[in-house]
Amino acid sequence: MVQERTLPTFNAATSRITKEEGLRLYEDMVLGRLFEDKCAEMYYRGKMFGFVHLYNGQEAVSTGVIQAMRPGEDFVCSTYRDHVHALSAGVPAKEVMAELFGKATGCSKGRGGSMHMFSAEHRLLGGYAFVAEGIPVAAGAAFQSKYRREVLKDESADQVTACFFGDGAANNGQFFETLNMAALWKLPILFVVENNKWAIGMAHDRATSQPEIYKKASVFNMAGVEVDGMDVLAVHAVAQEAVARARAGEGPTLIEALTYRFRGHSLADPDELRSKAEKEFWFARDPIKKLAAHLLEQNLASEEELKGIDRKIQELIDEAVKFAESSPEPDPSELYRFVFAEDE
């Protein structure tokens, strides 16, 4: 069994979350969970092809961070496990589903598939198949925001970038080079490590000499923080502080969210390496159930309200499947489109 670190404590009762905020966070996490469950169903029914990596269990990280940002203004950079980041960033579920079906109505015109979600409209900088590939791209987005504001004197250019990646990427050279650059230039960026304990089949503790990734921020004189990635309120609070610092010109933050994926690495993974005891330890910390319990305990929502959200989201996803199934395939005559930028 992978060695467990003690999860950071967070007093949710003092987070002062409003009913509206709580329901928004709950709805976003349920959207991610039910969407991924439907993806698994569609994949096994032969509607999707290639590798599909699901996000079940990690919803508190995507929701907690992205919901602390400005939708449609701030930038989000993802990994190959990118469906839920796209949804949290505001990409419509029907466009994400159509992309997974390889249809022309998908957010990447059917050319990206599961690992390459992109939406200029929603400031989603893409999913990336290669480990750590998105980290320098995200730094580039953060640099242009800083350059436009400080050099071109565009006061509206105060956008913040959130860059998501896994624990395996924290051993990659791009991680170290980009964090050094971001710290030197005080870029407005959040480096969010989704530490789900496993890099495909390699246990995190066996792959790095310093398992506590957030501590690596100290060598770059950068703020580093560890957070319980199964607690959306904790993630949200940490993200809000980091976003405020970045927007104020105080530089980047490295956030290590301790989380866990409830499924195998991909839908092609039989998931035989992780022990039953380890899985049960994390299943008991389901972030959606945890938030639901908090909302009920604090009288911020009723069971019927939560069930109503569940029903609404399920209907949304069912509609997304119908949209994807009825959408056209990309036209072969457009094979070479979108290889280069086009004139508007």
Q: Which domains does the chain have, with CATH numbers?
A: 39-324 (3.40.50.970)
Q: Tell me if 229 sits within 8 A of 61, measured CB to CB.
A: yes
User: Cβ neighbours of residue 255 under 8 Å, at least 6 residues apart?
Assistant: 65, 190, 191, 192, 193, 214, 224, 225, 227, 235, 238, 239, 242
Q: Which tens digit of pLDDT belongs to each residue from 154-177?
A: 999 999 999 999 999 999 999 999
Handedness of CA 13, 17, 18, 21 (dihedral sign): negative
User: Going by C-beta distance under 8 Å and a sequence separation of 6 or more, which residues neighbour residue 245?
Assistant: 223, 251, 253
Amino acid identity for residue 303 in this structure: E
Query: 129-142: per-residue pLDDT in tens?
Result: 999 999 999 999 99
Q: What is the pLDDT of residue 174?
A: 97
Q: Which pLDDT score, from 0 to 100, does residue 318 have?
A: 98
Q: Which residue has the higher pLDDT, 96 or 343?
A: 96
Which residues sit opposite 191 in a β-bridge?
Answer: 163, 254
Q: What is the tens place of the pLDDT at every residue in 289-324?
A: 999 999 999 999 999 999 999 999 999 999 999 999
Q: What does the pLDDT read at residue 341? A: 85
Q: Where does the pLDDT of residue 343 fall: very low under 50, low under 70, confident under 90, or very high at 90 and above? A: confident
> What is the SS3 assignment for 41?
helix
pLDDT of residue 5: 74
Range 244-273 average pLDDT = 96
Band (1; pLDDT cuts 50, 70, 90): very low
Place of tokens 């939708």: 71
Q: Is the pLDDT of residue 112 over 50?
A: yes
pLDDT by residue (tens digit) across 23-64?
A: 999 999 999 999 999 999 999 999 998 999 999 999 999 999
**Is the confidence at residue 13, as pLDDT, over 70?**
no
Chain-centroid distance, C-alpha 317? 19
Q: Which residues pair with 225 in a beta bridge?
A: 255
Q: Are 1 and 280 in contact (CB under 8 A)?
A: no
**Residue 90, phi then psi, degrees to nearest 5:** 105, 0
Mean pLDDT of the chain: 95
pLDDT at 295: 97
Mean pLDDT computed over 88-110: 97
8 has pLDDT over 90: no
Confidence of residue 2 (pLDDT cuts 50, 70, 90): very low
Higher pLDDT, 338 or 343: 338
Instruction: Characterize 210-237 residue by residue with b for buried, 16 or more Cβ atoms within 10 angstroms of its Cβ, and e for exposed.
Output: ebebbebbeebebbbbbbbbbbbbbbbb
CA distance 268 to 276: 19
Assign 338 a pLDDT band (cuts: 50, 70, 90): confident
Under the banding of pLDDT at 50, 70 and 90, the label for residue 3 is low
